[in-house]
Amino acid sequence: MKKCFSILKAVLLSAFVISSYSASAQTHAGDAKMNAFVSNLMSKMTLDEKIGQLNLVTAGGQSKTGSVVNEGVEGKIKSGAIGGIFGIYGTKYIGTAQDLAVKNSRLHIPLIFGLDVIHGHRTIFPIPLGMSASWDMGLIEKSARIAAEEATAEGINWVFSPMVDIARDARWGRISEGSGEDPWLGSQVAKAMVHGYQGSNMKNADAVMACVKHFALYGGAEAGREYNTVDMSLIKMYQDYLPPYKAAVDAGAGSFMSSFNTVNGVPATANQWLLTDLLRKQWGFKGFVVSDYTAVNELSSHGLGDLQQVSALALKAGLDMDMVGEGFLTTLKKSLKEGKVTQAEIDLACRRVLEAKYKLGLFDNPNKSINADREKRDELTDDNRKFARQIAEHSFVLLKNQGQTLPLKKSGTIALVGPLADNHLEMLGTWVIAGDPNKSVSVKEGIRNVAGDNVKVLYARGSNITDDSLLSSRSYFFGQKQPMDGRAPQVMIDEAVETAKKADVIVAVVGESANMSGESSSRSDINIPESQRDLLKALAKTGKPLVIVLFNGRPLTLTWEDKHASAILDAWAPGTEAGNAIADVLFGNYNPAGKITATFPRSVGQIPIYYNHKNTGRPFDGNGPAKFKSDYIDISNDPLYPFGYGLSYTTFNYSGVKLNKTSLKGNETLTASVTVTNTGKYAGEEVVQLYISDPVASISRSVKELKNYQKISLQPGEKKEVVFNITTNDLKFYDNQLKYDWEAGKFIVQIGTNSSDIHVASVQWDK
Ligand code: NOJ
């Protein structure tokens, strides 16, 4: 390999001595060297080789998320017709493919290797929606860092993450892959993930390039139906949906993935305004853009023309790499001849792909991450598992805890029931490519590990995840099937009820299977599947305390559960250390502090439902006559659990909001504070949230917007003053000319434990 590296260097690097660059702090000198290197290389490339760099292929397997898989990959690598491969991992496979490229292609240009590393690689962390509920950017960044370490140990240098799409519709299965509904919080997560993946220098052997997706607005799919049309106002786009992508650009993300949907009428993948004017010219993005899976070809179904035409449109719009569909590979040459694209457009895209490889240090060492020792050593280590347990615990949200049912005592008898209680397969959640479910800890195992000998655990499965054959077949793919218990539903329920009768408390582990959410998993009904609700209803009738441990990739409608269960712990899909983390929280080794980042509706009919909505001209606040007000006649407007909500085993008391001034001018800073006291028996953490509203403005503003938070830790009886500094940056918004500024007037500062339970103070802020 060393020899091959020196040949490559000799051919490509000619006059340049490659020293250790800091990609994170690219100086002009660094840029100049990169430009000269890439120009020199491109001067030797044929048109076919340039177009080849724009071709991203998949080897299939679990990365197959469309109906097409590439063929003839080996020959294409050798002829220089492929710029990158995704969907393979492991030094053996990646090493072989990289060897083919650097030894057998004419110019020895290394391939880039991508993978959907979404929430961990071998060690799996909670699904992103769960991680965001931790409100802990340090932990989130570390999860991306560990994922990068593990993925690079298997030759990966590019990850299709973070997914930063804002989502306000729980029917959409991919809400599980993002950070919920809030643009400000989503931006913090986007930054943390990019930093974690790319590390201090993308040339490091343990750094990957992030690919921010899906640009843009994918989460706004109409009716929550997968791949559906998106149509929204520019103000909404700028104010609520675009900020996390912009934050990722500012954090230095190396690449972006275009989304499947339309943006302002034009599909994102061929949207020049989006990919060039906004992303590059306004935001200053310097990396490359890859399409989503066959999204270039799908432009034809969007109605933009045949493959040649849509490929030309996509390239001209600013798309650099074509994932799987090979529209670029098979049509760009012809389009160039016919004057439908220019040489400069092909060159620019090729340059951007080569620059990415340069920034990753692949021209220095194409095999920088192909290291069999690291592969053995760095995967699923004890430390990584320990961290997985920690972040899972921090992601859990206590939705209900009547009469302090939790934490459980480490004595007595527990009836452990539910199809997810003794289950490894469903612990990891959606989008897990290299994670091994057999290495995950089930809840049953976790309880055994943590509870100690004084706890007797009686187990009964109680039901299948679902008895609905359509739902079952659609939520298992890649050849998997729901492992079914062949007994009749009532027989299983009866067994569970008998088990429950012998116990002091019931722990029911229920909810969605891993792939009931995620890509292509939209649901029109977001209840816990019926077979499990029947089980819960029968268990509730026993009168025993009923603790629900919930698995879910989205907010679910839990009105029945909220009324009848004694406690509900939302565990999302916790990852490799699921069972240990759940048991830690059930038995009080860790006091839960997560807060939901997507509103939980009472009914699917309330969707889209989100905290930062507009007031409307006829708001209904629940008081007075409801007729002719903005509401429903059959349900309240309120969600079941509001954004930012989550309980603790302890209780926190908030003082009123104290302001340092009540009238300000220009660029002064306002300080707002509250004193939070731990009034309960347990030490605990609390996410203290700051919202601001702007009741009078030139456009209709959201009723409130999250602007900051602090996560604090308090011993029983301890109190802390939490101080927020507020500047005019926190008051800015996009007006109807899309000018981003603040307007003088009254503002209401709101601080509290969630978006609904807040303390307020007003201030006058003049220019
Ligand atoms: C389609 C998905 O939309 C995208 O998120 C993913 O990265 C690609 N397939 C590649 O697997």
580 with 698, same domain: the answer is: no
- Asked if residue 129 belongs to a domain, the reply is no
Ligand 1 in reach of 293 Cβ (< 6 A): yes
User: DSSP string spanning 644-685?
Assistant: T--B-SS-EEE---EES-SEEETT--EEEEEEEEE-SSS-EE
Of 573, 597, 621, the one marking the end of a domain is 597
Same domain, 402 and 545: yes
Q: Which residues contact 87 (CB under 8 A, 6 or more apart)?
A: 58, 59, 60, 61, 62, 63, 64, 114, 115, 433
160 lines ligand 1 (CB under 6 A): yes
Phi, psi of 255 (to 5 degrees): -150, 160
DSSP structural state of residue 124? B
**Of 192, 132, 185, nearest to 594 (Cα)?**
132
Q: Indicate the DSSP class of residue 176.
A: G
Percent residues over pLDDT 90 in the chain: 91
- Tens of pLDDT, residue by residue over 38-76, are 999 999 999 999 999 999 999 766 555 666 667 788 999
Q: Residue 522: which of 587, 604, 424 has the closest Cα?
A: 604
Lowest mean pLDDT among 2-16, 143-157, 589-603: 2-16
Cβ burial 36-72 (10 Å sphere, 16+ → b, else e): ebbeebbeebeeebbbbbbbbbbbeebbbbbeeebee
Mean predicted confidence (pLDDT) in 334-350: 98
Q: Are residues 690 and 578 in the same domain?
A: no
Decide whether any atom of ligand 1 lies within 6 Å of the 213 Cβ.
yes
From the CA of 161, give the closest atom in ligand 1. 7
Pocket test for ligand 1, best of 213, 432, 477 (most atoms within 8 A of CB): 213
Dist. CA 246 → ligand 1 center (Å): 20
* Pair 557, 676 in one domain: no
- Decide: 702 and 733 in contact? Cβ < 8 Å: no
Q: Give Cβ neighbours of residue 432 (< 8 Å, ≥ 6 apart).
A: 118, 119, 120, 124, 514
Examine the domain organization and report whether 456 and 568 are in the same domain. Answer: yes
Asked whether 154 lines ligand 1 (CB < 6 A), one says no
Q: Does the beta carbon of 322 lie inside 6 Å of ligand 1? A: no
pLDDT of residue 60: 65
Phi, psi (deg, nearest 5) at residue 295? -70, -25
Q: Which of 296, 519, 521 to mutate to test the pocket of ligand 1 (most atoms within 8 A of CB)?
A: 519
Averaged pLDDT, 178-203: 98
Q: In the predicted model, what is the mean pLDDT of the chain?
A: 94
Is the predicted pLDDT of residue 541 greater than 80, yes or no? yes
- pLDDT band per the 50, 70, 90 thresholds, residue 372: confident
Q: Which residue has the tokens 């690449």?
A: 255
Residue 364 lies in a domain: no
Q: How far is the CA of 620 from the centre of ligand 1 (A)?
A: 41
- The predicted structure's pLDDT at residue 28: 63
Question: Do 576 and 656 belong together in one domain?
Answer: no
- Using the predicted structure, report yes or no on whether residue 410 has a pLDDT greater than 50: yes
Question: Could you identify the atom of ligand 1 that is nearest to the CA of residue 213?
Answer: 5
Q: What is the pTM of this model?
A: 0.95
Position 346 in a domain: no
- Across the range 468-473, mean pLDDT stands at 94
Q: Where are the beta strands (DSSP E) in 59-208?
A: 84-86, 112-115, 158-159
Higher pLDDT, 64 or 138: 138
Q: Is the CB of 256 under 6 A from ligand 1?
A: no
Q: Is 52 contained in some domain?
A: no
Q: Does residue 660 share a domain with residue 568?
A: no
Q: Which tens digit of pLDDT belongs to each residue from 122-132?
A: 999 999 999 99
pLDDT value at position 61? 60
Rounded to an integer, what distance in angstroms lies between the CA atom of residue 341 and that of residue 338?
8
For the annotated catalytic residues, the residue numbers are 292
pLDDT bin (cut points 50, 70, 90) of residue 280 is: very high
The sign of the CA dihedral 181, 182, 188, 194 is positive
181-190 mean pLDDT: 98
Q: How many CB atoms lie within 10 A of CB 399?
A: 24
In a domain, 532, yes or no: yes
User: What is the strand order of the sheet 288-290 is part of?
Assistant: 288-290, 255-258, 209-215, 158-159, 112-115, 84-86, 55-58, 322-323
Instruction: Check residue 64 and give its pLDDT.
Output: 58
- Specify if 669 maps to a domain: yes
Are 514 and 408 part of one and the same domain? yes
Question: Of all protein residues, whose CA lies closest to atom 4 belonging to ligand 1?
Answer: 292
Q: Which of 638, 122, 39 is nearest to 351 (CA)?
A: 39
Are 427 and 574 a contacting pair, CB within 8 Å? yes
- Gap from CA of 130 to ligand 1 centroid (Å): 20
> At which of 581, 597, 613 does a domain end?
597
Whether residues 458 and 530 share a domain: the answer is: yes
CATH number of 470's domain: 3.40.50.1700
Structure confidence by residue, pLDDT tens digits, 563-606: 999 999 999 999 999 999 999 999 999 999 999 999 999 999 99
**Statement to judge: residues 591 and 691 lie in one domain:** no
Atom of ligand 1 nearest to the CA of 87: 11
pLDDT in tens, 230-275: 999 999 999 999 999 999 999 999 999 999 999 999 999 999 999 9
Q: What is the pLDDT of residue 369?
A: 82
User: Both 477 and 577 in a single domain?
Assistant: yes
Question: Do 403 and 517 have their domain in common?
Answer: yes
Nearest to 215 by CA among 190, 182, 193, 235: 190
CATH of residue 695's domain is: 2.60.40.10
Structural domain total, the chain? 2
**Confidence (pLDDT) at 3:** 36
The rounded Å distance from CA 163 to ligand 1 centre is: 10
Atom of ligand 1 at shortest range from CA of 163: 5
- In a domain, residue 384? The reply is yes
Q: What is the 144 CA–ligand 1 centroid distance (Å)? A: 18
Last residue of a domain, one of 579, 597, 615: 597
In a domain, 483, yes or no: yes
Does 25 have pLDDT greater than 60? no
What confidence tens digit (pLDDT) does each residue in 210-231 have?
999 999 999 999 999 999 999 9
Reported as a pLDDT band with limits 50, 70 and 90, residue 702 is very high
- Domain of residue 717, residue span: 652-766
